Structure 1
């Protein structure tokens, strides 16, 4: 058990409540978390009402094949990059026919890092149908397990913020 598990459980429960209340479907495109985001979402009872499918695309060819990530972006920027994670989010949104999507790609460690992309570097992207795509790079600290747990937590929290932003846009528009 990780120190992040209670936080992840709480965020997943709040996300489930928000998705249910708004009548939205969510999906995730995951690389470094290996399905951890989808697992956290489906821990919540009743999750089949707001979650139908997700994508674990660990290898670059999987990102290209299943999420329509450009081979050129993968070659030019690498899997752990803003253009790739944004494309992953958009590809997942379309493939899953969802209303919201989150995508993550990073280097969980303990090896695999480089001077410009050290271990703990994780790119996030969140998008909504007909809305904007937001992206962010974080440098997380800790063991592989801790980096992955922090990534899951941040992904869920970002989805909650996306729902809040969406609700504000709809009420003011």
Structure 2
């Protein structure tokens, strides 16, 4: 059900978070909960995963993680500004999380445009007492490939924050 390389990355992240006493929250749009699902597929994840917000719609982004309607209207759901608001909102709303990651993008096959092509994903990673990190990437391939690459990159962002 979950690719072996995703499970391996999830296991490594769970181990590192356990060793460092960190807890994760997610705010996911284009992955629809797959980041949280991959993490919770690993034994011992309950000591590391606090909660996951699946914020597929703009209304969910606003009501669940506090993305402002103005930011959504001005920049669109797939934007750096929304990714930042999503991870910071998830960190604020998660009861025990010390790190939150967010993803918002266009997994395809439709929905892209010249300015926001299929495969574009914006990431945010916020941590208690740490500066928020933002990144974006345009991944290639079909919907599965884009979502898989997104999950792996989200794990890498959390790992990078843990390494600082």
TM-score by length of 2: 0.97
Q: What are the Cα deviations for residues 49-89 of structure 1, in whole angstroms up to 9, with x where unaligned?
A: 01121100000011000101010000000000001000000
Counterpart in the other structure of 2:124: 125
Are positions 1:17 and 2:15 aligned together? yes
Runs of 4+ off more than 2 Å: none
Q: TM-score with structure 1 length normalisation?
A: 0.92
Q: Distance in 2 between matches of 1:74 and 1:130?
A: 26
For structure 1, which segment, 7-16 or 135-144, has the greater mean C-alpha deviation from structure 2 after superposition?
A: 7-16
Deviation at 1:158, TM superposition (A): 1.1
Higher-Rg member (1/2): 1
- Higher strand proportion: 2
Superposition pairs for residues 132-171 of structure 1, below 5 Å?
Answer: 132-165=131-164
Gaps of 5+ in 2: none
Q: Report how many aligned residue pairs link the two structures.
A: 163
Please list every run of 5 or more consecutive structure 1 residues that lacks an aligned counterpart in the other structure: 166-173
Aligned mate of 2:40, from 15, 39, 42: 42
- Measured against aligned partners, the alpha-carbon deviations of 1:91-133 in whole angstroms (never above 9, x if no partner) come to 0011113100100000000000000000000000111011100
How far apart are the structure 2 equivalents of 1:103 and 1:142?
21
Q: Out of 68, 74, 91, which is 2:89 matched to?
A: 91
